[in-house]
Amino acid sequence: MRTGIAASPGIAIGPAWVVQEVELDFPTEKVDNPEEQLNRFRGAVDKAKTQVDALREKAKQTMGEDKAAIFEAHLMVLDDPELLGSVEQKIKEERLDAAKAVHDVIEQFVAMFEQMDMEYMRERAADIRDVGSRLVHILLGVEPRSLAEMDDPSVVVAHDLTPSDTAQMDKSKVLGFTTNIGGRTSHSAIMARTLEIPAVVGLKTLVSEIQQGETVIVDGIEGKVIVNPTEAELDDYRKRQERYEAEKKALKRLVSEPSVTADHARVELAANIGSPHDAQLAKENGAEGIGLFRTEFLYMDRTDLPTEEEQFEAYKHVAETFGEHPVVIRTLDIGGDKELPYLDLPDELNPFLGYRAIRMCLDRPELFKTQLRAVLRASAFGNIKMMYPMVATLEELRAANRLLDETRAELREKGADFNENMEVGIMIEVPAAAVMADALAEEADFFSIGTNDLIQYTMAADRMNERVSHLYQPFHPALLRLIKHVIDAAHAKGKWAGMCGEMAGDPLAIPLLLGLGLDEFSMSAISILPARKQLKQLKQSEMKRLAERALELGTAEDVRAYVENELKTLQHS
Ligand SMILES: C=C(OP(=O)(O)O)C(=O)O
Ligand SMILES: [Mg+2]
């Protein structure tokens, strides 16, 4: 039995289809005619673009627009003047063969991106590697290994799978896959989850230890792989596979059911999304609305600010996807771990305590008002609500609302359509705002508690720092008391309170939050159906008592142990 990283849930059993790496041989002698190599290189870039275009179209059909966007990124790499220029320079100055020049430049760029600490920069490295390998294969005249050749349903075993590989996967043939490298958020893992193909990644040396056709079990739930299983193991895993499929089917039946507890309390289960394309997937997973649209992703991965029109189209698309159901658009939350290189923001000693989110937006009213105009105009096409991130003071809320009023007046003057009654709320993720929730509730239409940040600021423990992660405690009574105060303050003023931090989808937190009276739970799409199932089994009246008791405990550990224990007891009663 081998253990890796569970990348996509489900169990696959079948013969191994081992992807062998092709050894590439680069001509290393200096060339006589660099002009000829430049032409070969440019020809290869054109050919690669045609191939990627075809892949993008295929991916659009099989996986939807958002996953196909990976190939937009590939096309951007193929158009990147810096990268293309570096290859041409190498060919001219060092008189290298085109394939060798591409190989060297790609290695350089990949190394540079891999060193950066932002995950999405590291993912750029994977894109560049994928494109580089395509160009090298074209230049060397080697057919890239293709999953399209697979005849029988099999388990793919590879060192790594590029997005180009996964896009070619035929779901009726690929039962599951394993890779030697990669993590939960690598492109191939994300694709596997979209295609609902069980996958385990990060298996280190599996490829060299398995023969084509040997039977393999992939357990994408626990991250395990078994090669040549015994009869008993096969039996066991066939049963697990059946159970998993049956549970999945049962959950799918809850897609259009309302979210109600066993004692008929109604809550809302919404999804967090980062791009307009995620909206459809959220809906398919039973979301009753969008509780957090992280709009900063529209601003990232590009070289200048998105226009009002681009933003309007994105917001309108999500609003229309959800019709009468609410879509909460959060205004730009840049800063902290989310950078925008083209804004040229100064480096700060404490970026999480610095110039970010609403602070920056209030300081750059033109940038902010472009977004406000786009949101207001989109509000004519569905049930849009808007919220400001990182609000610390009442003055900030007022200042933002003044800019919103100005924007409304300007739109009225132009005769533009928008919803005059659009709800405007705030995120509660700064402890000062949580403490002052009663005052803020007078002027905000709703609250959405951002526990990802509220925990780090309450515990003074950086959410990205492994060394203090033991202090990052969602179940700390200090946090639970703040949450209770926020919810009570909202209700006292007739407003609703939701939560869009990761905690809202945690099966151990849901009973507590239900007991504290949370109205809306917003989480990643895949957590929604399990949460709906869980809620059906809980009674709000009982959870109220559970929460009251938890608030009196002294440590996070005590709270966890208490809740776990109570839930077990309730299950058996
Ligand atoms: C939802 C939140 O915002 P983000 O994770 O985008 O900072 C939060 O802080 O809980
Ligand atoms: Mg936050």
CATH 3.20.20.60 correct for 268-572: yes
Nearest residue (CA) to ligand 1, atom 10: 450
d(CA 529, CA 507): 11
For the chain, give every residue range classified as CATH 3.20.20.60. Answer: 268-572
Q: By the 8 A CB rule, do 181 and 159 touch?
A: yes
Predicted confidence pLDDT, tens digits, the chain (573 residues):
999 999 899 999 999 999 877 778 888 899 999 999 999 999 999 999 998 998 888 878 777 776 787 888 899 999 999 999 999 999 999 999 999 999 999 999 888 887 765 556 666 787 888 899 899 999 998 876 567 678 899 999 998 887 778 777 777 899 999 999 887 767 778 778 777 899 999 988 888 899 999 999 999 999 999 999 999 999 999 999 999 999 989 999 999 999 999 999 999 999 999 888 889 989 999 999 999 999 998 998 788 999 999 999 999 999 999 999 999 999 999 987 777 888 888 889 898 999 999 999 999 999 999 999 999 999 999 999 999 999 999 999 999 999 999 999 999 999 999 999 999 999 999 999 999 999 999 999 999 999 999 999 999 998 878 788 899 999 999 999 999 999 999 999 999 999 999 899 999 999 999 999 999 999 988 889 999 999 999 999 999 999 999 999 999 999 999 999 999 998 877
Write down the pLDDT at residue 102.
94
Write down the pLDDT at residue 220.
95
Q: Which of 293, 337, 453 to mutate to test the pocket of ligand 1 (most atoms within 8 A of CB)?
A: 453
Q: Which CATH superfamily is domain 22-140 in?
A: PtsI, HPr-binding domain (1.10.274.10)
pTM higher than the cut 0.95: no
- Residues lining ligand 1, CB < 6 A? 292, 294, 333, 429, 450-453, 500-501
Q: How far is CA 376 from CA 135, 189, 321, 412, in A?
A: 45, 36, 17, 11
Relative to the CA of 452, which ligand 1 atom is closest? 10
Relative to the CA of 501, which ligand 1 atom is closest? 10
At residue 390's C-alpha, the angle toward residues 389 and 396, to 5°, is 95
Nearest residue (CA) to ligand 1, atom 8: 450
d(CA 124, CA 338): 15
Neighbours of ion ligand 2 (CB under 5 A): 429, 450, 453
Q: Catalytic positions, please?
A: 187, 500
- What are 262's two structure tokens? 């066993």
**How many Å lie between the centroid of ligand 2 and the Cα of residue 220?**
30
For the chain, give every residue range classified as CATH 1.10.274.10. Answer: 22-140
Relative to the CA of 453, which ligand 1 atom is closest? 9
**How many Å lie between the centroid of ligand 1 and the Cα of residue 149?**
44
Binding residues: 294, 330, 429, 452-453, 463
At residue 16's C-alpha, the angle toward residues 15 and 18, to 5°, is 155
Report helix, strand or coil for 426. strand
Relative to the CA of 448, which ligand 1 atom is closest? 1
Nearest residue (CA) to ligand 1, atom 6: 294
d(CA 448, CA 331): 13
Write down the pLDDT at residue 22.
73
Write down the pLDDT at residue 60.
81
Write down the pLDDT at residue 120.
62
d(CA 475, CA 177): 36
Nearest residue (CA) to ligand 1, atom 2: 450
Per DSSP, 453 falls in state H
Binding residues for Mg(2+): 429, 453
